[in-house]
Structure 1
Amino acid sequence: MRGSLGTGVAVVARAAGALVLNKLFATYAPAGGLTLLAQFQNLMALLTTLSNDGVQVGLVKYLAPLQPGSPRYRVWLGAAAGLNGAALLAGAAVLASQGLLGWGWSSLAAFVVGIALLTGQGLLGAALLAAGRLRAYISLSVAVALLGTGAAAVALLRHLPLNLVLLAYLLAQGLTLLPALVLAARAGVLRHLRLAGPVSRLAVRRLSQFLLMAVSTLLFGKAVDYVLRSYLLANFGPARTDLWQTVAKLSDNYTMVFAAVMSSVFYPRLAALAGQPRAARGYLLGVLGLLAPVLALGLVLIFACRNWLLPLLFAPHLLGAREFLGPQLLGDWAKFLSWIFIFQLTARARTGPYVAVQAASAAVFAAMLAVLLPRFGLEGAVLAHAGRYWLLLLACAGFQLRRKNEPLSGMKNEE
């Protein structure tokens, strides 16, 4: 609870920025603008997932016990920088070859530059988090929210073309690399670093375990979302798809809050307890027992306030989205609780089980979409979402119960 309060400022800033951004697009963008914003953010995530959900997550684990500026610290940071660069080049190559944006080369280059800046900022933010510089990490989160939302607001109110609005949103966030460099230098994170030096194969190999986990998130999460949104746009049109996107965006807002708290408070602590199975299990179950009723109460309140909340946060013409809200909220509760269980796979670098879980979850989701979309239309998307995560939660709970009966010595040997 104390750690959660420490991240409150950053979480509020990011959530407020997202709410304002959604309101602006729902009000001032053309029909389907909210869905196009989500598709652009999804594409940003496709190019940053390998770094943020892979390399940076592993970096926090391995830098946390080290002194900033020490030789081993520099080895891990250098390996992370190299892997981030490789991931960025691979993403840019796929983007250019597939033409996912459908823009000209100048806009495409600006997009890649923005992603590169965000990747660098994410690397420095992970180092600050590992060093326990939570205040600096929070400052960066606030800056990202303010700059990105502010740039998009100015561009929308000046009635610029939508592609320029989206690029302004991305590049403004990328400019936070500059304060990140200043904060990292003050924290000693950049001490004794050299631009060129040997890269540790051991560090690359261990960070690559987390990179493989991120690949599964990319293929079985972000890519699935991108394809689904493209399908809905093509079959239901931008205006109708905006109704589904409204509840998805509302979900994204509180999911961002949950993910920010868990990534900055729960995951580092769980990673630190990776070698103490009994303590890690007790910590995980304690967090689960706290969050399950709190999350349920919060989601019930959102549902009860839906008739005035949706027009307030988005626009009156999107009130029809309330028909999709119930299944979305049910699925989100199960999703959050299942994430708590899955975090332990990341903390223990269990690459194989993590990838298997992601693949199985995506396969179930795809199968449900294939059955439910033709029968229920847009509502089939939220019904498939709910079914997917309730099955995942049941599977995670069953696995945890089985592990509870295993001898702790076996668990230690597994580590």
Structure 2
Amino acid sequence: MAFREIYSTQIAKVLTWNSLAMLMKLISGFVSIKVVAVLVGPNGVALIGQLNNFMTIVLAISTGGVLNGVTKYLAEYRNRPAWKTYQVIYSAVSAIILMTLIMSLTIAFGSNFFSNWILNSEKFKLIFLLLGLLICFNVANSLFLSILNGLKIFKVHVKSNISSSCISLVLSIFFTYRFGLYGAMLSIVVSQSAIFIFNLFLFRKHGWPIIQKAYYFGRLNKYILKRLGSYSIMTLMGIVALPISQMIIRKFLVEHYSLFSAGLWEAMNRLSSVYLMLITTSLSVYYLPRLAEIDSYYDLRREIFLIAKLVFPILIGGLFFVFFFREVVITLLFSSEFERMEVLFKYQLIGDFFKIASWLLAFLMVAKKMTGVYIASEIFFNLLLIGFSYMLIGRIGVLGASIAYCVSYIMYFLLMLWVFRGVVFNNKFFE
């Protein structure tokens, strides 16, 4: 297929729509990294990493892990009778309200325990109390975006992402500058409340009427709940497993080396997540709903290879750029305290390439509801990551964590090639 034809496809249009949003996210992400790195140092970065991982786990459980299912079924039912859409939204919202209430009360009343367990200090218990009280806003924002994604209202989705980036950046700079490490954590917790208020103005025109109709005409559907439940298991495993693994590895680094070493590793992880944002966000917005719609084997294979031809040149070019200018990147985005993280780049970047390559195939497991295979693959990857990290960190320190990341994603990619060998190597997949 010609290069011009590739860029005329819908994924290219999504990338175009997302370009401004991604630019804002990249700018806000890089500025936030710089501000936090300079003001709190590697030790603070490590603790913030623990809090971010914990919040990811809490959000996943609070949403019941059904957001990917909401996106899939809204995309699937988009051209079908409206009552199907209403039942999906009604059933999902009912499950989410129950799970959010449970998590909110658990974290609020257990704030002292979680402060000691996650951050090894009681002085952050107010952070966890606020997290428990405000998690509902984070959940609401995520639900809104999933509905917009499933209904393919991409432009409003982009506007929401832009506003979220701007609000988060402003709050991060203000609170971190004013209160240091405590302020940085506070901004993470409270930013979603401000974002929710702004999103209400965006959502009321496009998404709110659908939710209102779902409230009046929707019913709790056991069949839909069961189908969402299968996504719940997959999503919870996918979202929760890696943050848990990272928290375990970070604690291992702190116990056997120092909080400083854990901060260097966390800084590398955070940098990685920011520069991969363009690809991962665009895939989430377009790729999952598109795979969910495809029933033909030939269209499925064509879509995967089409996306690969678009993504890989951008990915490889970006990774080489980051590697060759890694000293400049450290100077611009961090501080002199982070100079020792330069040795982590090579293995991190190789791992990032295989991470994206494996995700292009792994998204199929979610789109086609391959629950058992998905759970087994996630367990396989995270056990590899923890096992290799324990083995290598004990021998070569923080560099071992980056090598473990690299090796684990290479093996995960090989597993995906084997699982989807029918698609990749032109054999029948649906038969």
What TM-score do the two structures reach when normalised by structure 2?
Answer: 0.88
Q: Which of 52, 67, 90 is the equivalent residue of 1:41?
A: 52
Q: Tell me which residue corresponds to 1:123.
A: 143
Residue 151 (structure 1) shift: 0.9
Counterparts of 1:8-407 in structure 2 under 5 Å? 8-50=19-61, 54-64=65-75, 65-66=77-78, 70-92=82-104, 95=107, 96-97=109-110, 99-102=113-116, 103=122, 106-158=126-178, 160=179, 162-187=181-206, 188-194=209-215, 198-273=219-294, 275-403=295-423
Give the fraction of aligned pairs with identical amino acids, expressed as a percent. 19
Q: Is the 8 A contact 1:50 1:211 kept in 2?
A: no
Between the aligned partners of 2:159 and 2:293, the Cα distance in structure 1 is 24
Q: Which moved more, 1:213-222 or 1:297-306?
A: 213-222
Between the aligned partners of 2:115 and 2:150, the Cα distance in structure 1 is 35
Q: Is the 8 A contact 1:42 1:222 kept in 2?
A: yes
Between the aligned partners of 1:68 and 1:128, the Cα distance in structure 2 is 17
The structure-2 alpha-carbon separation of the partners of 1:107 and 1:396, relative to structure 1 and needing over 3 Å to count, comes to: closer
The structure-2 alpha-carbon separation of the partners of 1:225 and 1:375, relative to structure 1 and needing over 3 Å to count, comes to: same
The structure-2 alpha-carbon separation of the partners of 1:68 and 1:398, relative to structure 1 and needing over 3 Å to count, comes to: closer
Paired residue total? 409
SS at match of 1:411: coil
Between the aligned partners of 1:402 and 1:192, the Cα distance in structure 2 is 42
Q: Tell me which residue corresponds to 2:3.
A: none
Residue 243 (structure 1) shift: 2.0
Residue 94 (structure 1) shift: 5.6
Stretches of structure 2 lacking an aligned partner (at least 5 in a row) = 1-11, 117-121
Letter in structure 2 aligned against 1:222: P
The CA RMSD over aligned residues, in Å, is: 2.5
Q: Is the 8 A contact 1:69 1:190 kept in 2?
A: no
Residue 384 (structure 1) shift: 0.4
Q: Is the 8 A contact 1:121 1:174 kept in 2?
A: no
Q: Which moved more, 1:213-222 or 1:264-273?
A: 213-222
SS at match of 2:403: helix
Residue 236 (structure 1) shift: 2.1
Q: Which moved more, 1:63-72 or 1:258-267?
A: 63-72
Residue 69 (structure 1) shift: 10
The structure-2 alpha-carbon separation of the partners of 1:195 and 1:85, relative to structure 1 and needing over 3 Å to count, comes to: farther
The structure-2 alpha-carbon separation of the partners of 1:257 and 1:115, relative to structure 1 and needing over 3 Å to count, comes to: farther
Q: Is the 8 A contact 2:301 2:423 kept in 1?
A: no
The structure-2 alpha-carbon separation of the partners of 1:330 and 1:90, relative to structure 1 and needing over 3 Å to count, comes to: farther
Letter in structure 2 aligned against 1:395: L
Letter in structure 2 aligned against 1:100: F
Q: Is the 8 A contact 2:249 2:389 kept in 1?
A: no
Between the aligned partners of 1:105 and 1:195, the Cα distance in structure 2 is 40
SS at match of 1:101: helix
SS at match of 2:115: coil
